[in-house]
């Protein structure tokens, strides 16, 4: 069995030290990879070669900046405000209604942005104000709920993490998007049930109901926002656009609705959206570039095959392997950034999953759900930090309110793991054959 070389051990150590010192993970992986290449006597120019091959020859990579731009344009306009008012009119009348609004708006917003961070940042401030006004909910509960509901964003299509998984696993983006629909809705349903129970136990307030006669008008005003997920999904699954082209349509549609229909985006707002999108894309791009180079090192070192041989020698069945993967990814999610896990750790596990006959769409959705749970898992949870900054509530209080939801979502993850049909049922309706070619 292959052993890990000294060069790889030193490269891994350098990456760990540089990351601990605060260097961005992408740059840390590039530095570690260059050290490995020098120690093995290989041309450091391989780094540039991997950049070019991975970043510029892969068409699906264009979807990432376009979905980010679409989310930024929506956040700069009044789309989030109109969406929240419509959700409040539907479910705000029930006990704990504002908490239910938080979940419902995340379901709709998930069909537009593909990013948990965009979801939390887009509606986070507004939901925090609505829920804490007149002391209806504690700041920590409002912040925790916004963080938890934002997790739905990358599960329901479109999804930036699924685009990245498709990159490393060579899997159909279209069927991955379909595979996330039922799990995302189930996660939202579990949260809404939990809120309904908690609302009675903690005596959450009941909002003044919006008269039903106003609902048609509010629906009409929100219709352009609600129509966006339909445009995207019809474009992809109607054969009109590829998923990457659908990302361009999303950005164009968001601009059209915000600037022309609602007249809520001016030139300075658009400039700021493009600037913010460029910065975010550059950050993600550097991380992807570093991962591509380091994945080359991992492949040269034969790490995936070695790990695959070890795991297969344990005579694992698919369910046992998936349980181990869930445990590994949940633990790593406590300390590592999700994109790093998706681009560096998941590719190492893919060969074993394939050898055990696990469907790549099922495996991808399970992996993405794990990684999204890492966003609300202490101590690293990125969404926890975002909502701490937005709410001003102490982190420990937010974590206390997040934990009951986290256990519920882990229960949902177990369901998706043990019952693959929760993921594969919808893709099969659209012609997916497990293990076959995709959209």
Domain-wise residue ranges, the chain? 45-429
Give the confidence band of 282 by pLDDT, cuts at 50, 70, 90.
confident
Distance of CA 382 to the CA centre of its chain: 12
pLDDT at 163 over 50: yes
430 or 98, which is more confident? 430
Give the confidence band of 351 by pLDDT, cuts at 50, 70, 90.
confident
With b meaning 16 or more CB within 10 Å and e meaning fewer, what string describes 105-140?
A: bbbbbbbbbbbbbbbbbbbbeebbebbbeeebbbbb
pLDDT tens, residue by residue, 212-264: 777 788 778 777 777 777 777 777 767 777 777 777 887 888 888 888 877 77
| Confidence at residue 65, expressed as pLDDT on a 0 to 100 scale | 78
| Confidence at residue 363, expressed as pLDDT on a 0 to 100 scale | 94
| Confidence at residue 191, expressed as pLDDT on a 0 to 100 scale | 92
Place of tokens 């940042």: 121
pTM of the entire structure?
Answer: 0.77
| Confidence at residue 179, expressed as pLDDT on a 0 to 100 scale | 92
338: Cβ contacts below 8 Å, ≥ 6 apart: 161, 371, 372, 374, 375, 382
Question: Span 201-218, mean pLDDT?
Answer: 76
- Give the H/E segment covering residue 277: helix 267-300
Question: Span 83-93, mean pLDDT?
Answer: 70
Question: Span 143-149, mean pLDDT?
Answer: 88
CA angle in degrees (0–180, nearest 5) for 158-247-168: 65
Give the confidence band of 412 by pLDDT, cuts at 50, 70, 90.
very high
Report the DSSP beta bridge partners of residue 95: 206
Please tell me what DSSP assigns to residue 208.
P
Question: Span 11-18, mean pLDDT?
Answer: 84
Q: How far apart are CA 108 and CA 393, in angstroms?
A: 27
With b meaning 16 or more CB within 10 Å and e meaning fewer, what string describes 225-244?
A: beebbebbbebbbeeebbbb
Question: Span 181-190, mean pLDDT?
Answer: 93
Report the DSSP beta bridge partners of residue 206: 95
Instruction: Identify whether the C-beta of residue 335 lies closer than 8 Å to the C-beta of residue 379.
Output: yes
């Amino acid at each position: 069995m292959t052993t890990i070389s000294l060069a790889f051990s030193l490269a891994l150590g350098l990456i760990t030290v540089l990351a601990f010192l605060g260097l961005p993970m992408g740059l840390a992986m590039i530095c570690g990879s260059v050290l490995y290449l020098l120690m093995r006597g290989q041309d450091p120019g391989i780094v540039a070669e991997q950049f070019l091959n991975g970043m510029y020859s892969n068409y699906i990579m264009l979807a990432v900046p376009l979905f980010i731009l679409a989310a930024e344009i929506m956040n700069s306009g009044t789309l989030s405000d109109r969406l929240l008012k419509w959700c409040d009119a539907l479910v705000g009348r029930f006990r704990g209604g504002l908490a239910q609004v938080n979940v419902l708006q995340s379901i709709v917003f998930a069909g537009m942005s593909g990013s948990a961070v965009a979801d939390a940042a887009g509606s986070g401030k507004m939901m925090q104000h609505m829920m804490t006004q007149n002391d209806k909910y504690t700041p920590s509960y409002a912040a925790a709920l916004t963080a938890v509901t934002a997790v739905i964003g990358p599960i329901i299509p479109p999804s930036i993490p699924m685009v990245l998984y498709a990159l490393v696993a060579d899997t159909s983006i279209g069927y991955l998007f379909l595979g996330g629909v039922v799990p995302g809705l189930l996660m939202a349903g579990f949260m809404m049930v939990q809120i309904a129970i908690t609302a009675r136990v903690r005596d959450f307030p009941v909002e003044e109901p919006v008269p039903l006669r106003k609902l048609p008008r509010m629906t009409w005003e929100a219709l352009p926002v609600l129509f966006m997920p339909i445009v995207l999904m019809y474009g992809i699954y109607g054969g009109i656009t590829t998923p990457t082209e659908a990302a361009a349509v999303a950005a164009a549609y968001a601009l059209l609705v915000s600037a022309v229909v609602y007249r809520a985006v001016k030139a300075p707002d658009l400039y700021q959206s493009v600037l913010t999108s460029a910065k975010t894309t550059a950050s993600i791009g550097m991380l992807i570039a570093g991962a591509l180079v380091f994945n080359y090192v991992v492949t040269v070192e034969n790490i995936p095959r070695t790990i695959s041989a070890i795991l297969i020698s344990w005579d694992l069945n698919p369910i046992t392997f998936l349980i181990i993967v869930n445990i590994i990814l949940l633990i790593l999610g406590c300390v590592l950034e999700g994109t790093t896990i998706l681009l560096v750790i998941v590719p190492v596990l893919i060969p074993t999953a394939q050898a055990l006959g696990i469907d790549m769409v099922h495996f991808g959705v399970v992996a993405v759900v794990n990684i999204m749970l890492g966003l609300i898992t202490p101590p690293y949870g990125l969404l926890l930090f975002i909502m701490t900054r937005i709410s001003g509530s102490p982190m420990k209080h937010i974590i206390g309110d997040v934990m009951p939801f986290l256990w519920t979502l882990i229960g949902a993850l177990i369901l998706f793991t043990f019952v693959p049909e929760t993921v594969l049922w919808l893709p099969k309706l659209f012609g997916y054959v497990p293990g076959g070619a995709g959209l």
